[in-house]
Structure 1
Amino acid sequence: MANTTSYPFYADLQTTLDKVPKSDMVLIIDDFNARIDVQQHTTSSNVVGPRAVDTINENGE
């Protein structure tokens, strides 16, 4: 289970998945440990969304 600092991400993910018809196959392929810095976020915000980090994430990594 995700820790409480990661909870909003997983809640958003679940909300999105709940909208997919049950007859569809969903594949989630991602590098959930990847880091997107603030500069990349401002130039690619339509791709990466609101989850950019400066130097460390909420888990201290």
Structure 2
Amino acid sequence: VQHNLFMGDIVAAWSDDRVFRNGHWIFDDAPDELRTVHYVAGGQFYAIGKGSKFDHGPGKD
């Protein structure tokens, strides 16, 4: 088994305003080609889907 560790310093970032607005990711209406892909396990990947909002309580975002 081989393991790799990558470390870096982020000096700049960019996001597509079609899926990121006002500090939040908005994938609900995004076309498939803009959705992020996530590895689960055993060679299985999933594209991000519909979002859900939950009440975190007063003053929480």
Q: TM-score range by the shorter chain?
A: under 0.3
TM-score, with structure 1 as normaliser:
0.27
Q: Which has the higher contact order (CA 8 A, sep 6+)?
A: 1
Q: Which has the larger radius of gyration?
A: 2
**Structure with more of its chain in helix, by fraction:** 1
**Structure with more of its chain in strand, by fraction:** 2
